[in-house]
């Protein structure tokens, strides 16, 4: 396997937009291509992450239209990837393997989503399609519902009184909004307090509105290439050190999902490939679709013991400047969560952090960073470890 580098990255501002899916992706892609000092004609394959384009815009089969929009030659294969909220990370992992194997030298990969115009009922319905349609959707399960049940299970399992856990969960939102306030591309650039969270309306008990990430529009993209080519293209290539992907079935078959086996397996693959452990990670962008989700993810990735992740919010260990800064971008919570773009936006932030380009939200001296993206109810999990 060859060493694979990220040459350039691009990302749109997250939030509401009138641009189309094709336009959003192309905007992020052109930035990544320009940053890489190459031309669209240098791209040998296009990997597009998009989850809900069929329902959002009546657009299936979007990849070819994006290739055309970008002026890629007819010989360039363009392929759509889907893995619910992990969509873009699945695409990045695949793109990595094609370059690592030697089949392609330079590829463009990213993700795009457009949700806000759909309205909450349809958006909630289409998000729920990422859970088991035979056996679990008919209960009216929603994504807040999945993580609401997780919060209750977590509080019961570890004997943490629900009000105590809720306050620590609120601190996840407070931290991520504080970080997001320093990110010009974030959907929400405003700090909040614990009271903001605890006074917001109940979405799925015990999750309130500010425990939940928003619906978002946006796109992000990366140019992946060989080490040799990257050195010629840019000053500071960032390398893909490790990748992992895991799978799981219906939530009921996962039983106690406070420990997500697909995530533990995925993270282990990525750590082993990179030859590092959780203690070596300087900065992490992980899947905080809900406040409890950040706590559980931080344990599955090995940053904290199982059952101890929520305490880290009180000690500030996951803040910028703490032991393991988590979601300096603002995370899904404040930066926004255009689901098919999220994995690429996480990689974008880690690349910028490792290059030292994050301004007020920079994690000093970060050399190894990790992403963690969860699709559906943990049925798809992807981890990437990047380094300089």
Partner 1 sequence: MSFYKLTHREYFDALKEGRLLGLKCRQCGGYTVPPKACCDGCGGTDTEVAGLSGKGEIKTFTVVRVAPEGLQAPYIVAMAELEEGPWLMGNLLDVDPDRAGMDLIGKKVSVGHRVVQMNYTAGEGVTPVFKIIP
Which chain residues interact with partner 1 by CB under 8 A?
120-122, 124-125, 128-129, 133-142, 144-145, 148-150, 152-153, 155-156, 162, 201-207, 249-253, 255-256
Minimum distance from residue 281 beta carbon to partner 1 (Å) = 30
Give CA–CA dist 291/204, Å, rounded. 13
For partner 1, which is the closer residue by CB, 2 or 125? 125
Of 85, 212, 284, 289, the active-site residue reads 85
CB of 120 to partner 1, least distance (A): 7
**Smallest distance, partner 1 to C-beta of residue 154, A:** 9
Per-residue tokens: 106: 């330079």
Q: What pairing do the DSSP bridges indicate for beta strands 78-81 and 207-208?
A: unpaired
Alpha carbons 232 and 347: distance in angstroms, whole number = 21
Cβ atoms within 10 Å of 152's Cβ, excluding its own:
16
Q: Which is nearer to partner 1, 153 or 181 (CB)?
A: 153
Give the residue among 104, 54, 130 at the shortest CA–CA distance from 289: 130
Q: What is the DSSP letter of 192?
A: -
Question: Cα dist. 165→52, 250, 324, 363 in Å?
Answer: 33, 26, 20, 27
We find the least distance from the C-beta atom of residue 262 to partner 1, in angstroms, to be 15
| Farthest-apart Cα atoms in the chain, separation | 60
Which residue among 289, 300, 337, 358 is the active-site one?
337
Task: Give the Cα separation of 130 and 135 in Å (integer).
Answer: 12
| Nearest approach, Cβ of residue 278 and partner 1 (Å) | 27
156 noted as active-site residue? no
The structure tokens listed for 126 are: 């289409």
User: Which single residue is written with the structure tokens 């394959």?
Assistant: 45
Closest C-alpha to 34, from 9, 11, 13: 9
Adjacent-strand bridge partners of 244: 383
Burial class (CB in 10 A: 0-12, 13-18, 19+), 201: exposed
* Cβ atoms 49, 345 nearer than 8 A: no
Q: How do 380-387 and 238-247 pair as beta strands? A: antiparallel
Determine contact, residues 153/256, Cβ cutoff 8 Å: yes
Question: Between residues 156 and 232, which has the closer beta carbon with respect to partner 1?
Answer: 156
Report the nearest approach of partner 1 to the CB of residue 215 (Å).
11
Cβ neighbours for 68, distance < 8 A, ≥ 6 positions apart: none
Q: Which is nearer to partner 1, 142 or 247 (CB)?
A: 142
**What is the nearest approach in angstroms of partner 1 to the Cβ of residue 327?**
24
- Nearer of residues 25 and 147 to partner 1, judged by Cβ: 147
Per DSSP, the residues of 260-311 read -HHHHHHHHHHHHHHT--GGG-SEEE---SBHHHHHHHHHHTTSS-TTTTTH
Our answer to whether residue 337 is catalytic in this structure is yes
Task: Pick the closer one to partner 1 by CB: 189 or 254.
Answer: 254
Q: Which is nearer to partner 1, 37 or 142 (CB)?
A: 142
Catalytic residues: 85, 337
């Amino acid at each position: 396997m060859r060493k694979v580098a990220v040459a350039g990255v691009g990302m749109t501002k997250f939030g509401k937009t009138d641009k189309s899916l094709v336009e959003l992706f192309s905007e992020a892609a052109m930035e990544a291509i320009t940053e890489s000092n190459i031309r669209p004609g240098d791209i040998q394959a296009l990997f597009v992450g998009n989850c809900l384009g069929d329902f959002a815009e009546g657009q299936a089969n979007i990849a070819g239209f994006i290739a055309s929009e970008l002026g890629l030659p007819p010989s360039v294969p363009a392929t759509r990837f889907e893995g619910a909220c992990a969509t873009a990370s699945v695409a990045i992992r695949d793109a990595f393997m094609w370059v690592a194997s030697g089949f392609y030298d330079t590829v463009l990969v990213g993700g795009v989503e457009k949700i806000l115009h759909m309205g909450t009922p349809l958006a909630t319905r289409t998000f729920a399609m990422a859970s088991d349609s035979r056996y679990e959707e008919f209960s009216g399960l929603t994504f807040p519902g999945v993580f609401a049940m997780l919060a209750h299970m977590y509080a019961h399992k570890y004997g943490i009184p629900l009000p105590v856990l809720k306050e620590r969960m609120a601190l996840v939102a407070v931290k991520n909004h504080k970080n997001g306030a320093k990110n010009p591309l974030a959907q929400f650039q405003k700090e909040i307090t614990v009271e903001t969270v605890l006074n917001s309306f109940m979405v799925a008990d015990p999750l309130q509105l500010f425990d939940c990430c928003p619906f978002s529009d946006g796109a992000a993209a990366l140019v992946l290439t060989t080490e040799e080519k990257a050195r010629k293209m840019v000053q500071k290539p960032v390398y893909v050190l490790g990748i992992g992907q895991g799978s799981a079935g219906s939530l009921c078959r996962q039983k106690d999902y406070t420990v997500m086996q697909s995530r533990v397996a995925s993270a282990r693959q990525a750590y082993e490939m990179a030859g590092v452990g959780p203690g070596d990670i300087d900065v992490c962008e992980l899947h905080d679709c809900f406040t409890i989700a950040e706590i559980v993810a931080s344990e599955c990735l090995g940053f904290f013991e199982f059952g101890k992740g929520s305490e880290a919010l009180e000690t500030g260990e996951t803040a910028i400047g703490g032991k393991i800064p988590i979601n300096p971008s603002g995370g899904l919570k404040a930066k926004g969560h255009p689901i098919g773009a999220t994995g690429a936006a996480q990689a974008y932030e880690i690349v910028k952090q490792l290059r030292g380009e994050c301004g007020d939200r920079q994690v000093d001296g970060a050399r190894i960073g990790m992403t963690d993206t969860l699709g559906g109810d943990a049925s798809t999990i992807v981890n990437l470890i990047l380094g300089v």
